[in-house]
Structure 1
Amino acid sequence: MTTADTGRDPAERIAAALELVIDELVRRDWALICAESCTGGWVAKVCTDRAGSSRWFDRGLVTYSNEAKQELLGVAPTILAAAGAVSQPCAEAMAEGARGGRDDRVSVAVTGIAGPDGGSAEKPVGLVWFAWALPQQTLSSEPVHLPGDREAIRLGSVAHALDGLARRLAA
Structure 2
Amino acid sequence: MTDELQPVPDALAFLAGSWQVERTVRDLAADVTGAFTGTTDFTADLTADLTTGVAAEAGTLLHVESGSFTWRGTARPAERTLLYVPGEEPGTAVVRFADGRFFHGLDLRTGHHVADHPCSADLYRGEFTVYDAGRWRTVWRVKGPAKDLVLTTDYRRRAADPSGPADR
**Do Structure 1 and Structure 2 share a fold, with TM-score over 0.5?**
no
Higher relative contact order (CA 8 A, sep 6+): 1
* Structure with the largest fraction of strand: 2
Question: Which range, TM-score by smaller chain?
Answer: 0.3 to 0.5
| TM-score for the superposition, normalised by structure 1 | 0.34
User: Which of the two has greater helix per residue?
Assistant: 1
